[in-house]
Structure formats: structure tokens, C-alpha cells
Structure 1
């Protein structure tokens, strides 16, 4: 991805007290696209193929702004276990938006995994976000994943998983 491509995408980002510098229409025009969801998918797939961490972040901005298509699920799941980028929290958020049972194993892993670049984070923000995504995901697979996280090495994740089960009206021991 060229620096100009990144600039156009970053112009969509808002900061407290300021309006975005760019518009979605400018992004579509810059990339010669007429469908922002399709553009987000194309950028995600390109980021995975090129193993480009910066492009992952740009793709997530585009996908967040235009919406995620269900086809984004596959590259997002691939990105969950990739150690060559630093956008795992954004990936978790995107998977939480999609609410797909197919993402449950990846979300469960992300709830317990601490990438080296997040080793400083004692609040386990990524793990808690993954639990929240599991809470929003329908189906018994998500219930089982939350139960599995009750044995997490992190007390914060264990507590979030227990709250998640309660919010879903599911017993912590059911099915065990």
C-alpha cells in the first residue's frame, strides 16, 4: 500500500474535538471503488496475502467505516493467529461485529493469548474484548468457549467469562 493510500484512509479517522479530514466518497474515488464493503474485504485479503501489518490497520479502518461483509470472516480469522501484525484488538472487534459461530475458536484463543507487543497490558484488554465478542455470538459453541475460559490463566478473563455466561443465562457447569 502506498503512502498516499494510507493518507486517504487515515483522513477518515476522527479524533476527539475534530472532524474527519476526508470523506468515504473520497476513499472510494481514490481506490476506484464503488462499494466500500468490497474495498474493505479486498484490503483485508491483500494484507493477509502480503503479510503487511500496516495494511491490516488500514483495512480495519475501511471495514469499520463502510461495514463488514460476511466474506471478511475468513481473512479476519486468519489474522487472529498471525504474529506479524499489531492489530489483534481491531480484529477481535471486527469479529464481534460479525457475530459468527465460525469465529468462536479464534476468539477463544485470543481471549487467552497475549502477543508479545501487548505483554505490558495487565488489564488484558484484548482478552476481555474477545470475551465480549463471544458474549455477542449466538450458539452453543460460544457458551462452551466461555465455559472453557473459566479455566483461563488470567483472573480478569475468567471473571469476564463468568459474567458473559451469566449475561447469556447459561450455567457455568452446564454441559461439562
Structure 2
């Protein structure tokens, strides 16, 4: 009965009021739908899973109480609702969904064989980005090394949105240095979307944060590249000069002879 009622609602064969009066006899109840979804999962009822997810979405019933069953479902391979579940977990942002979303990136599902855009993997990656926990960030770093270009680029985009420096950005800086990319194209490609139209002060703060992060990681090459960006676009402030002054005194920085130098940090620090 529940499945048929949900289908009729989706087809507009009954009104929402008619659906509620029959389906929710004691009023709209999130826990009741959760119970039905659990039941569908246990008996591997593909249609019931699909329609209970629809009802929960239609009436905005998803809560963190759904996390366990949603994680179990997204890891399962017998149904066809993985993308809907990934989208829901992305909205709920439960910390304990990280492993399930990560596993689902690598799903090889027959019903999705046609999808060369890897929509499920992309939704899972964005879900990891939305959760934004130390664990999810580590998963994104792992995915950013994927041989699958779609998975790799989306993972990098999420890392960049959370203020982390990526291999993609490093390559863009080197291309800028070699005059293989225009200033305008660099800005469009280098900065997260929310900074594309921002003023130079906000972009300066963004690059400064990246430099601090790479300083803490002791990544001399990344620091050199980021200082080049700050100089090229005139983003230098006293804070940058302070970092440069401290950096040239660091023993670990001096030992990294393999670093490709794009800027003279000694000269920059002397201007403090």
C-alpha cells in the first residue's frame, strides 16, 4: 500500500492531503518512514527503497537518524538509488558517513555503466567536501591522486574550496611563470568560484593562508610558487614580508636544494 500511494503522489494522481491522510494516519512522522526504509533495506526491496526515499525527500523528513540506513544502502549494490542517497548524505553532512561515501566513489554498478561522467562518484566527492572533517579531507586528498581525471579534478576542486593548495593549482602557477596561460585565465582557474569576482584583498588573504599552510607542512616548492603569485598580482603585505624573513632562516628550507626558485625571498624579506 505504501509503495502504491507514493507512486500515485509522484504521478499527481492524488493530492498531498490525500496522501497524508492515508499514509500518515497519525500525522507526518519521520520515524515511521525511517522504519519503512529500514524494512525495505533488510529484505532488499528495490522499489520500496526508491519510494520511501522519495517520500522522505518530498516531506523533508531526513534527519541524522537516517544516517545508518543511508550508509548501508549506498554501500549496497542491489538497488538503483545510489545518487539520491549520495545527494541526501551530502545535505545531512554526517561525520560517520565519510567511509561509506568514499567506498561509493568506486562503485561499479551495472545500471550506471552508461555514465561516462561518473555522476555518483562526483556526488560522493561533493558529499565528502560538505562534511569537511579531518577524515573527509584526507579521503579527498587520496582521491585527488586518482588516475580517473573526473574523480581527480572534483576532489581537487573540493580541496581548493576548503582552502587547501593542490597539484592542479601548482601546475597553473608554473604555466603562468612560463607565459603559457594568460593572467585572466589564471585568475579564473586558480581561485575557487567564490573568489573569482572578489577584490585583491580577499585574494591576498586566500594566498596568504595557503602559504601559512604550506609553511607548516614545510613544502618549500609550494611556498615559492605561492609567493610568485603574490608578487605577480601585487598582493604583498607586511605579513608576506614577515613570512619571507622567517622562512630564509629556516634550516629545513635551506636544505631543499631541489626546489625550483621563482622568487628571491631574500630580497623580499629585506624590504620588511
Residue 13, structure 1, aligned to residue 5, structure 2: no
Residue 142, structure 1, aligned to residue 136, structure 2: yes
Which stretches in structure 2 are left out of the alignment for 5+ residues? 168-213, 218-272
- Structure 2 length-normalised TM: 0.56
Given candidates 110, 133, 157, the residue that maps to 2:151 is 157
Which stretches in structure 1 are left out of the alignment for 5+ residues? 15-19
The count of corresponding residues between Structure 1 and Structure 2 is 167
Could you tell me how far 1:99 is from its partner in structure 2? 0.5
Partner of 1:28: 20
- Structure 1 length-normalised TM: 0.84
Deviates more, 1:80-89 or 1:157-166: 80-89
Could you tell me how far 1:23 is from its partner in structure 2? 3.9
Could you tell me how far 1:132 is from its partner in structure 2? 1.3
Given candidates 111, 123, 126, the residue that maps to 2:117 is 123
Partner of 1:107: 101
Query: Residues 97 and 133 of structure 1 are in contact (CA less than 8 Å); yes or no, is this contact kept in structure 2?
Result: yes
Higher-Rg structure is 2
Q: Give the number of the structure with larger relative contact order, counting CA–CA contacts within 8 Å between residues 6 or more apart.
A: 1
Could you tell me how far 1:47 is from its partner in structure 2? 1.0
The RMSD of aligned alpha carbons is: 2.1
Partner of 1:60: 53
Q: Distance in 2 between matches of 1:39 and 1:25?
A: 17
SS at match of 2:10: coil
